[in-house]
A and B are shown apart, each in its own frame.
Chain A
Amino acid sequence: MNTVFKKSTAGREGVWPAEPKSSPADLLPAGLLRQTGAGLPSLSELDVVRHFTGLSKRNYGVDGNFYPLGSCTMKYNPKFAETVAALPGFTRLHPVLPQLGGAGRLCQGALEVMYETERLLCELCGMEAFTLHPMAGAHGELTGVMIIAAYHKDKGNKKTKIIVPDSAHGTNPASAAIAGFEVVNLPSKDGIVDPEELAKVLDDSVAGMMMTCPNTLGLFEKNLPKIVEMLRSVDALLYYDGANLNAIMGKMRVGDAGFDVVHLNLHKTFATPHGGGGPGSGPVGVSQRLVPYLPISRVEKLEDGQFFLNYDFPKSIGYVAPFYGNFGVVLKAYAYILRLGGAGLTRATECAVLAANYLRKRLDKTLEVPFDRVCMHEFVASACNLGECHVRALDIAKALLDRGYHAPTIYFPLIVKEALMFEPTETESLDTLDQFADDLIDIIEKSKADPAYATGAPRTLPVTRLDETRAARSMELTDDL
Chain B
Amino acid sequence: MPYVPHTPEDIRRMLEVIGAPDVASLFDEIPAALRPKSFALPAGKSEMDVLAHMETLANKNTCGQVSFLGAGFYDHHIPAAVDALSMRSEFYTAYTPYQPEASQGTLQAIFEYQTAVTRLTGLAYANASVYDGGSALFEAAMMAVRHTNRRKLIVCEAVSPIYRVMLASYTSNLHLTLVTIPHKNGCCDLGALQNALDADTAAVIVQNPNFFGTIADFTALFDAARAAGVVSVMSVYPVLQSVLKSPGEMGADVAVAEGQSLGLPLSFGGPYLGVMTCNKALVRQMPGRMVGRTVDGEGRTGFVLTLQAREQHIRRQKATSNICSNQALCALRALLYLCLVGQEGLTRTAGLCIERAHYAAGRLTAIDGVTLLSGSAPFGNEFALSLPVNAYQVIDKLTARGYVPGFPLGRYYPGLENALLVACTEKTTNEQIGIFAEMLRGVLA
Contact = CB atoms under 8 A, between A and B. Distances in A.
A309 to B, nearest CB: 11
A401 B101 CA distance: 8
B134 A321 contact: yes
B252 interface: no
Contacts of B227: none
A60 to B, nearest CB: 4
A428 B326 CA distance: 27
Q: Which among B40, B112, B396 has the highest number of chain A CB atoms within 10 Å?
A: B112
A411 to B, nearest CB: 9
Interface in A321-359: 321-329, 331, 335, 337-348, 350-351, 353-355, 357-358
B34 A67 contact: no
B50 A15 contact: no
Contacts, number: 694
Interface stretch (A133-141, A194-202, A231-239): A133-141
A153 to B, nearest CB: 9
B387 to A, nearest CB: 15
Contact of B95 (A69, A100, A175): A69
Contact of A33 (B245, B283, B295): B245
Interface stretch (A49-57, A384-392, A441-449): A49-57
B372 interface: no
A407 B100 CA distance: 11
Nearest to A175: B322
B320 to A, nearest CB: 9
A113 B173 CA distance: 32
Contacts of A41: 339, 342-343
B217 interface: yes
A435 interface: no
A32, A346, A361, A468 — which one has the most chain B CB atoms within 10 A of its CB?
A32
Contacts of B169: 146, 295, 317-320
Contact of A430 (B6, B321, B392): B6
A93 to B, nearest CB: 4
Contacts of A288: none
B99 A406 contact: yes
Contacts of B300: 462-464
Q: Looking at chain B, what size class is its interface with the partner chain?
A: 35 or more
A20 B352 contact: yes
A170 B399 contact: no
Nearest to A60: B102
Nearest to B347: A37
A177 interface: yes
B298 A464 contact: yes
A59 B108 CA distance: 10
Contacts of A345: 41
Interface stretch (B151-159, B304-312, B435-443): B304-312
B295 A124 contact: no
A314 interface: no
A17 interface: yes
B174 interface: yes
Interface string B1-44: 11111100011011101111001001111110111111111111
A354 B312 contact: no
Contact of B6 (A101, A253, A351): A351
Interface in B296-338: 296-298, 300, 302-304, 306-307, 309, 311-319, 321-330, 332, 335-336, 338
A82 B288 CA distance: 27
B103 A60 contact: yes
Contact of B294 (A69, A179, A358, A466): A466
Interface in B98-117: 98-106, 108-109, 111-112, 114-116
A12 to B, nearest CB: 8
A312 interface: no
B55 to A, nearest CB: 6
B377 to A, nearest CB: 10
B212 interface: no
Interface string A8-44: 1000111111111111100111011111011111110
A173 B267 contact: no
Nearest to B340: A15
A467 B296 contact: yes
B66 to A, nearest CB: 12
Contacts of B91: 56, 59, 61, 275-276
B77 interface: yes
B108 A58 contact: yes
A120 interface: yes
Contact of A138 (B125, B172, B322, B344): B322
A39 B343 contact: yes
Interface in A266-283: 271, 273-280
B215 to A, nearest CB: 5
Interface string B227-259: 000000000000001111110010000000010
Given A15-B79, A40-B119, A59-B90, A321 B166 contact: yes
A64 interface: yes
B124 interface: yes
A335 B58 CA distance: 12
Interface in B327-372: 327-330, 332, 335-336, 338-352, 354-355, 358
Given A251-B36, A337-B41, A472-B306, A92 B14 contact: no
B182 interface: no
B78 to A, nearest CB: 9
Contacts of B345: 14-17
B69 A94 contact: yes
Given A99-B411, A149-B173, A354 B23 contact: yes
A481 B124 contact: yes
A67 B89 CA distance: 14
A277 B315 CA distance: 20
A48 B81 contact: yes
Contact of A466 (B215, B296, B354): B296
A210 to B, nearest CB: 11
A106 B90 contact: no
Interface string B125-169: 110110111110000000000000000000000000011011011
Given A106-B62, A135-B270, A318 B94 contact: no
B423 to A, nearest CB: 10
B195 interface: no
Contacts of B46: 339
Given A224-B31, A277-B106, 17 more contacts: A15-B79, A20-B354, A23-B351, A61-B92, A62-B89, A101-B408, A135-B131, A146-B172, A174-B319, A177-B319, A252-B30, A276-B103, A278-B271, A341-B44, A354-B18, A478-B115, A480-B118
17 contacts: A20-B354, A52-B339, A72-B95, A107-B268, A109-B60, A123-B39, A142-B322, A178-B174, A318-B165, A321-B131, A342-B42, A342-B43, A344-B1, A427-B4, A430-B14, A477-B293, A481-B125
Closest 10 CB pairs of A and B: A89-B58, A323-B269, A275-B329, A341-B44, A318-B169, A342-B41, A109-B60, A180-B173, A279-B271, A59-B105
